[in-house]
Amino acid sequence: MPLKNEILNRWLGRVDAPSEPQPLLAEPAPVSADWHMQLDEEGRVNSISKPLRRALGISAALVPPQRLLGYLMPSSAMVVEGAPQDWLGHMLDLDFKRSNGHVLHTRGWVQAQGESWLLQLLDIGDLMEEANAAQSRQQCLRLAGQIAEKVRGCHVERLQAVTADQLEELAQQYRVPCLALALAEPGGAGWRIYAHYNAHTAPQLWQDGQRLGTDLDSLNGTVTHQIDFSAPSHLVHLQSAFGNAEGFLLPHHKEGSVKAWLLFGFYDAAQQVPELGDREWMNLCSALAGPILYRHADQAHRHQLERLAVLQDLLGTGWWELLPDTDEVQLAPQLARTLGFPETSDVLPLATWLQLIHPADRHELESRLALLRGHGTAMLACVRLLQTDSTQASVWLRIQGQVLVSGQTRRVLGFMLDVSDIKNQETEAAAAHARLDNLIASSPAVIYVLEYDQGSLEPSFFSASLTPLLGWSQAECADGLLTQYIHPDDRDIWFQRTRQLLREGVVSCRYRLRDKKGEYHWLLDEARLLRDDLGMPVEAVGLWLDVTEATQATERVRESEERYRILVEDSPAMICRYTPDLILNFGNRPLADYLDCTPAQLPGINLGEWFSAEQKEAFVRRIDELTPEAPMSTAEICLELPGREHAWWIWADRGVFDDSGKLIEIQAVGRDNTEIRRTRMQLNQSAKMATLGEMATGLAHEINQPLNVMRMAVVNVLKRLSNGDVEVDYLTEKLNRIDAQVQRAARVVNHMRVFGRRSEIEQQLFDPIDAVDGTLNMLSEGMRGKGVELKIGEPGARVQVRGHVDQLEQVLINLMVNARDALLAKREKNRDFEPWIALHVEQDEQSVWLIVEDNGGGIDPRLLERIFEPFFTTKPVGVGTGLGLSVSYGIVEQMGGRLSVSNSSEGACFRIALPVVRE
């Protein structure tokens, strides 16, 4: 080829270093070509050289004398207009028709040769090809430029569509049936078709978004350009990319690795565009893929920045950077805003920045910053902001910083984050934790954690209160050791507890655990099993509470209750509890026996059923008088039990009151007093009879006196009758006197009979004056007969006392008979002695006193205390019984009163005090 150019240039006068411009074809160059034709003046072909004939595929025999135009392509017709004369000095580019239909490109010139013209020709087919190729490459470059420009310039949202357009452009330009651009998946996991073009006539090889897997990666590095797909190995690898189709693919490298592939399907580039080389194809690929990747990276970067900005905005925080060589710091706009700097000034002096920090933390931050700057030590500090308002909660900032080195540059930057929430929560949690720790440490409780391991629970933690409480250390309670400390009697409970905890997730039990000193503690153990999200046990958390004291106290109470229960049940006394309306809540066996039922039948029975109306009234009245201050009351009560005579019980009640002082229940203990009562009544009766016996002399006198009066009257009447001096008035007067005396005697006898009777069961209300009158009726005559003066006081207002009138009479008789005996004994010694007995009544609102006084000299003071004892007497045997005063004392006491004695100046003075019953 260089040779050919040289020939042409030389012929045309284009020498490499021409000395001076030469006129066009000044003289024919002494060159000749293999191909030539002989033409006549008219331009008709006379002969064709043999090589040219061969090149055109014409046989020698067939050369007809015809015009040159007949051998040429129509495009060359312009070149050979006119005659050869006209063509002289011109370079003629002539395209010949070849017999096989192809074109033979030639360049030539004419020379005169005598009459005819010699047309010399050179084959310039290869020169033409080269020029075409160059043009094609230029066009390719232009196309690449256009593509890059379009992709760079379009709106990012249209990027994919524009890419598809460019692929179409490319495909149409080079007649590619299927064309696609594959980009690497984010994270490097394979490839995905980003955009594609498919000619209508070609089968669809790819579609947008299609995944190509990692097959293409295996080509990375081994493939730099076109691939021979006839090699079976590549076909296998790339079947997913091409099916079984023929094609090739181009990689686009960036930063040392393939980032995109341009895929050509059903395409043989060498055949379709032979003039384009690898470089051109790679150029095209880069022109498309490069800008797309750039724009993607750009967009990702922008998104990243936006995300960062949003993040910083949301957190009210951001980055900071120390500017090199100045003492200045630059803050992210959001951070500057949060810290209260105007938005325009995101660069500020370091000192100003530090001024924001609380003085307590400032020094630490400064020193850490210095370390960061000087030594590159990564920085992490939690600092508080300086606040003007001390009432507000502290604002905590976490400041992190590090040195970033890239090449020669060294940057110091970091991040500031508001961690007030966390920090304040941390502070609160720490305080709560400390409080809890304190509480646990000072309480008799141990908190423990058991770790779950394949069905067994092993201690992994005990609170610090373990050692003060039990003496054991954590280690001494680990791995099975604990079981040894459990009381042997409680081991079953211990093993049962673990099983229940695993099965039911919660357990509460008590057992004894030995402490280090060997003493057992009662522990209340409450534990709960914690499970993970899948329901698998993870650990158990529990609490030991030392309940030794409480347990022992409960045990003591239980034992004591048991003792009392036995005591109550086995007691011979009747014990019961009843409500203020007399309904029994409980009664023991002795009570049930009395009431002819079983203890179980007692609750619900009304005690009032066994009382007479008076008894019930008196009982209720007594219960009503109970108060929290005086909750006790004792009485002898009389009951009418079924199938029995009267029963007499000594009954002690104790009221139980609620907080407001209201009586809610009565506890009572009773003892059967019937026998004693009966004996006492008999005793009373005997004493009464004895009194009557003693009174016999006095009584005889009482009867004698009316008899004497009657006898005198009868004697006087008889004397008058014998004289015959009988007047009716006289007779009537005498008979009336006799009648009065008969009535008087009858009264005495009647009273004696009544007095001699047994007393009534029930007490009655009566006026004590009645007893005084009854006594005097029986005694006064006898006393006077013995020369004893009776001094009877004036009766006061009527009052009422409760008891038996005959019994009070008995008391008065006893006192007066005792006084009479003392008086008569004294008169025996002194004949001039004038004995008297005074009986009078005194009274006030609450009480009435009956006072019996004599002038018999009184009682020896040494005997004063003994005279009320039964059988105490100073009288001779057979005279005194020693029962009078003792029985009298009992009677007065039964009436709720009191009998007392004292010595006056002249004799003894007995006082009966009785409570007055108000209506």
Contact at 8 Å (CB) between 649 and 671?
A: yes
Instruction: Compare residues 116 and 780 and give the one whose CB is closer to ligand ADP.
Output: 780
| Nearest distance in Å: CB 859, ligand ADP | 4
Task: Check residue 151 for interaction with ligand ADP (CB under 6 A).
Answer: no
Task: Check residue 397 for interaction with ligand ADP (CB under 6 A).
Answer: no
Task: Check residue 95 for interaction with ligand ADP (CB under 6 A).
Answer: no
Phi-psi label, residue 488: left if phi above 0, alpha if psi -120 to 50, beta otherwise: alpha
Task: Check residue 873 for interaction with ligand ADP (CB under 6 A).
Answer: yes
CA atoms within 13 A on the CB side of 296: 15
In sequence order, what are the residues at sequence separation of 6 or more whose Cβ sits closer than 8 angstroms to the Cβ of residue 350?
322, 327, 328, 329, 369
Task: Check residue 880 for interaction with ligand ADP (CB under 6 A).
Answer: yes
Selection from 185, 20, 45 nearest residue 110 by Cα? 45
| Nearest distance in Å: CB 898, ligand ADP | 17
- Which two three-digit tokens encode residue 503? 């099965």
Give backbone dihedrals phi and psi of 288, rounded to 5 degrees, phi first: -85, -50
Stretch that binds ligand ADP, among 451-459, 594-602, 640-648, 883-891 (CB under 6 A): 883-891
DSSP string, 781-794: HHHHHTTPEEEEPP
| Nearest distance in Å: CB 877, ligand ADP | 11
Q: Which residue is nearest to ligand ADP (CB)?
A: 884
3-state class percentages of the chain: helix first, strand second, coil last, to nearest 5: 45, 25, 30
| Nearest distance in Å: CB 904, ligand ADP | 11
Tell me the C-alpha to C-alpha distance, in Å, between residue 901 and each of 33, 839, 860, 912: 191, 14, 12, 9
Q: Among residues 908, 912, 913, 914, which is the contact residue for ligand ADP, using CB under 6 A?
A: 908
Task: Check residue 854 for interaction with ligand ADP (CB under 6 A).
Answer: yes
Rg (CA), the chain: 74
Give strand pairing partners of 196: 180
Q: Among residues 856, 892, 912, 913, which is the contact residue for ligand ADP, using CB under 6 A?
A: 856
Phi-psi label, residue 255: left if phi above 0, alpha if psi -120 to 50, beta otherwise: left
Task: Check residue 827 for interaction with ligand ADP (CB under 6 A).
Answer: no
| Nearest distance in Å: CB 734, ligand ADP | 41
- Please name the amino acid found at residue 441: A
- Which two three-digit tokens encode residue 117? 């013209």
Q: Among residues 875, 893, 904, 917, which is the contact residue for ligand ADP, using CB under 6 A?
A: 875
Instruction: Compare residues 631 and 882 and give the one whose CB is closer to ligand ADP.
Output: 882
Nearest 10 degrees: Cα torsion 843, 845, 848, 853: -30
| Nearest distance in Å: CB 818, ligand ADP | 3
Task: Check residue 692 for interaction with ligand ADP (CB under 6 A).
Answer: no
| Nearest distance in Å: CB 558, ligand ADP | 55
Q: How far is CA 603 from the centre of its chain?
A: 47
In sequence order, what are the residues at sequence separation of 6 or more whose Cβ sits closer than 8 angstroms to the Cβ of residue 454?
none
Task: Check residue 874 for interaction with ligand ADP (CB under 6 A).
Answer: yes
Contact at 8 Å (CB) between 673 and 639?
A: no
Task: Check residue 872 for interaction with ligand ADP (CB under 6 A).
Answer: yes
Task: Check residue 909 for interaction with ligand ADP (CB under 6 A).
Answer: no
Contact at 8 Å (CB) between 369 and 381?
A: no
Residues across the chain: 919
Binding mask 265-294 for ligand ADP (x = CB under 6 A): ------------------------------
| Nearest distance in Å: CB 665, ligand ADP | 44
Task: Check residue 882 for interaction with ligand ADP (CB under 6 A).
Answer: yes
Q: Among residues 94, 379, 666, 859, which is the contact residue for ligand ADP, using CB under 6 A?
A: 859
Task: Check residue 84 for interaction with ligand ADP (CB under 6 A).
Answer: no
Contact at 8 Å (CB) between 603 and 585?
A: yes
Please tell me the distance from the alpha carbon of residue 413 to that of residue 458, in angstroms, as a whole number: 49
Q: Among residues 76, 463, 673, 881, which is the contact residue for ligand ADP, using CB under 6 A?
A: 881
Instruction: Compare residues 49 and 855 and give the one whose CB is closer to ligand ADP.
Output: 855
Q: Among residues 457, 867, 892, 913, which is the contact residue for ligand ADP, using CB under 6 A?
A: 867
Instruction: Compare residues 243 and 880 and give the one whose CB is closer to ligand ADP.
Output: 880
Task: Check residue 903 for interaction with ligand ADP (CB under 6 A).
Answer: no
Residues 789-818 that bind ligand ADP (CB under 6 A): 814, 818
Instruction: Compare residues 424 and 874 and give the one whose CB is closer to ligand ADP.
Output: 874
- Write out the residues near ligand ADP by the rule CB under 6 A: 814, 818-819, 822, 854, 856, 859, 867, 872-875, 880-882, 884-886, 908
